[in-house]
């Protein structure tokens, strides 16, 4: 009888293979000084024709910023390397070179107090490509960015297929064609898939890169967890509670009666621990009911006399802001300056300081009834809850102003408005909702209701105060945080989650701020181009008059 064949004879071999697979190790770690020889070998394999780092340069990198020099080893052998440093975003020229970025590969320009991680290079041995090792390095860099609370990561991506099209296409045109998927470039498309946003082409970035003809694409990844820290102020608060007043316009018998109505709402909002309260546009038009008409006075003449209340108006709101510990957008007030009438919104901070935003776009009725003229500056104001902007009623119907404010860092836009009928109100509200979506900001709308039967140009009012959000999954349904019942006096309160703005800025379903086509259209303000890279640190400082006014200065 033949012996049965032992079918288990080959199993030990398979077990050894499985054990070998289990025992393989992949480690993402910081580079060490004794890695130098392997680093040079990887660079020669990945960048033929480019001189590898000298030992002195490599040692300098480890000394300056060891955390940013990341490698991957498999089974104890280094197979991928990378280098990075921290810079201040404002300090680097848009047209810098590779040597500018890394100080001739020494990283002597590393700035521990900077706000941006700059990726110098990533190199993966050819036989280990396709294993998503570069993605592991980018994940490690993102962890590093979060740990250091950096704003973003910059890289100058290669254009390895550009040499095939260089005779026919400029590098900028090539980039546009790649983004449109008309041309395939493995590096640029891979970086886009990894969350990077192409900013522009840097010509002559690395002349020795023949495949890219020396050029590169500056690309940026924004940290959704970034929290800005500015000298002289507390760390920003993630949750900001805001209140919008749906205010009853009524004739008053005295300035003191007006003060009582206003203080009621400030007191109530403070009881609810609000950080901000916003009053409507033309709030002080109530006071027109106590200004005696003189013979021959027109509505324009009477409105000019509202400026006589400016000192008391400012003193009132400064006192309320400090006493109730709340930031107040005090509606707007008609002010005469150099014989011109302006519609001014005031921010009264709870530390007693005052700032002013002048209405820029004037409606035909404002010009007709009161002779109001427009201002010429979009301000962004620092507060203890982050930067804010004020767009007064008609101003929110012009998308450019919100873009400018957002580029300067505004995350909340307060919209005091004054409308007479529902269609007028809907113009303001619909445009404010659009500004939320376009710029990834919150809008807080406050308007008046009721009647002023004896005041020319202010007889009837229609309003529905509301707090609007961007339209995406993490936000409130229909993009409405809170809203009042139409045309009754009330107060809307809502808590804004500022961390959601940071997250959806780069990780939202759509990225309306990041995905603008700067190659097709541009917006400029004050001689500077408005882009996705401008932040309050990088914009010109607002004038001292606009953002550091005290109550005594306003009275003067």
Q: What is the rounded CA–CA span in Å between residue 29 and residue 36?
A: 14
pLDDT for 312-337, tens place per residue? 999 999 999 999 989 999 999 999 99
Share of the chain above pLDDT 90, in %: 57
Question: Taking 70 as the threshold, does the pLDDT of residue 65 lie above it?
Answer: yes
Across the range 524-542, mean pLDDT stands at 55
Active-site residue, selected from the candidate residues 142, 274, 359, 366: 359
pLDDT for 255-281, tens place per residue? 999 999 999 999 999 999 999 999 999
Q: Any residues with CB less than 8 A from the CB of 543 and at least 6 apart, and which?
A: 377
Where does the pLDDT of residue 236 fall: very low under 50, low under 70, confident under 90, or very high at 90 and above? very low
Is 393 tagged catalytic?
yes
Across the range 430-439, mean pLDDT stands at 96
Across the range 63-73, mean pLDDT stands at 95
pLDDT for 484-517, tens place per residue? 999 999 999 999 998 888 888 777 888 888 888 8
Active-site residue, selected from the candidate residues 278, 393, 443, 492: 393
pLDDT for 29-54, tens place per residue? 999 999 999 999 999 998 887 789 99
Please tell me the predicted confidence (pLDDT) of residue 23.
Answer: 52
Q: Which of 266, 313, 284, 273 is nearest to 555 (CA)?
A: 313
pLDDT for 442-485, tens place per residue? 999 999 999 888 777 677 899 999 999 999 988 989 999 999 99
Q: CATH 3.40.630.30 occupies which residues in the chain?
A: 24-222
| Pick from 133-137, 224-228, 380-384, 418-422: least confident | 224-228
Where does the pLDDT of residue 4 fall: very low under 50, low under 70, confident under 90, or very high at 90 and above? very low
Domain 24-222 of CATH type 3.60.15.10: no
Question: Taking 70 as the threshold, does the pLDDT of residue 438 lie above it?
Answer: yes
Contact 445, 466 (CB under 8 A): yes
Question: Taking 80 as the threshold, does the pLDDT of residue 297 lie above it?
Answer: no
The architecture of the domain spanning 239-555 is 4-Layer Sandwich (3.60)
pLDDT for 359-369, tens place per residue? 999 999 889 88
In 10 A of CB 333, how many CB atoms? 24
Is 366 tagged catalytic?
no
Question: Taking 90 as the threshold, does the pLDDT of residue 311 lie above it?
Answer: yes
- Which uninterrupted H or E stretch holds 361? none
Please tell me the predicted confidence (pLDDT) of residue 439.
Answer: 94
* pTM as predicted: 0.62
Distance of CA 273 to the CA centre of its chain: 26
Contact 235, 175 (CB under 8 A): no
Question: Taking 70 as the threshold, does the pLDDT of residue 7 lie above it?
Answer: no
Is 4 tagged catalytic?
no
| Pick from 13-22, 304-313, 440-449: least confident | 13-22
Active-site residue, selected from the candidate residues 73, 220, 281, 397: 281
């Amino acid at each position: 009888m033949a012996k049965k064949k032992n079918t288990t004879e080959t199993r030990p071999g398979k077990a050894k293979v499985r054990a070998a697979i289990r025992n393989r190790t992949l480690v993402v770690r910081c580079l060490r000084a004794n890695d130098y020889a392997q680093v040079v070998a990887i660079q020669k394999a990945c960048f033929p024709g480019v001189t590898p780092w000298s030992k002195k340069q490599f040692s300098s990198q480890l000394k300056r910023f060891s955390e940013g020099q990341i490698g991957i080893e498999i089974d104890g052998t280094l197979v991928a390397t990378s280098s990075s440093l921290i810079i201040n975003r404002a300090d680097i020229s848009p047209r810098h070179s590779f040597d500018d970025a890394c100080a001739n590969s020494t990283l002597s320009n590393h700035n521990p107090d900077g706000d941006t991680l700059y990726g110098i290079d990533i190199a993966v041995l050819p036989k280990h490509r396709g294993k998503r090792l570069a993605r592991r390095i980018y994940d490690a860099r993102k962890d590093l960015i979060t740990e250091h609370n950096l704003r973003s990561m910059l890289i100058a991506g290669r254009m390895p297929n550009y040499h095939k099209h260089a005779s026919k296409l400029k590098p900028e045109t090539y980039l546009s064609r790649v983004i449109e998927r008309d041309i395939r470039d493995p590096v640029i498309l891979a970086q886009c898939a990894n969350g990077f946003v192409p900013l522009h082409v840097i010509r002559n970035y690395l002349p020795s890169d023949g495949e890219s003809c020396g050029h590169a694409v500056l690309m940026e990844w924004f940290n959704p967890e970034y929290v800005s820290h500015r000298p002289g102020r507390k760390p920003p608060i993630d949750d900001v509670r805001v209140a919008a007043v749906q205010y009853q316009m009524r004739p008053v018998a005295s300035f003191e009666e007006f003060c009582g109505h206003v203080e009621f709402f400030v007191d109530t909002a403070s009881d609810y621990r609000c950080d901000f309260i916003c009053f409507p546009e033309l709030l002080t038009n109530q006071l027109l009911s106590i200004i005696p008409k003189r013979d021959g006075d027109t509505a324009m003449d009477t409105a000019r006399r509202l400026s006589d209340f400016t000192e008391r108006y400012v003193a009132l709101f400064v006192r309320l802001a400090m006493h109730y510990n709340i930031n107040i957008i005090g509606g707007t007030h008609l002010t005469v300056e150099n014989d011109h009438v302006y519609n001014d919104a005031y921010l009264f901070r709870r530390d007693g300081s005052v700032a002013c935003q002048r209405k820029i776009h004037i409606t035909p009725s404002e010009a007709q009834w009161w002779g109001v003229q427009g201002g010429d500056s979009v301000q962004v104001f620092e507060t203890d809850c982050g930067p804010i902007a004020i767009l007064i009623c008609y101003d929110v119907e012009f998308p450019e102003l919100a873009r400018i404010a957002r580029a300067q860092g505004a995350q909340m836009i307060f919209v005091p408005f004054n409308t007479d009928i529902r269609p007028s109100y809907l113009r303001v509200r619909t445009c404010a909702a659009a500004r939320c979506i376009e710029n990834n900001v919150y809008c807080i709308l406050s308007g008046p209701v009721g009647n002023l039967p004896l005041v020319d140009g202010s007889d009837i009012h229609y309003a529905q105060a509301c707090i609007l959000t961007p339209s995406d999954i993490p936000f409130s349904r229909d993009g409405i945080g809170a809203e009042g019942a139409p045309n009754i006096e009330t107060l809307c309160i809502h808590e804004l989650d500022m961390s959601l703005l940071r997250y959806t800025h780069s990780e939202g379903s759509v990225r309306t701020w990041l995905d603008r086509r700067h190659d097709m259209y541009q917006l400029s303000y004050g001689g500077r181009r408005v882009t996705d890279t401008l932040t309050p640190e990088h914009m010109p400082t607002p004038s001292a008059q606009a953002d550091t006014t005290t109550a005594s200065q306003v009275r003067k």
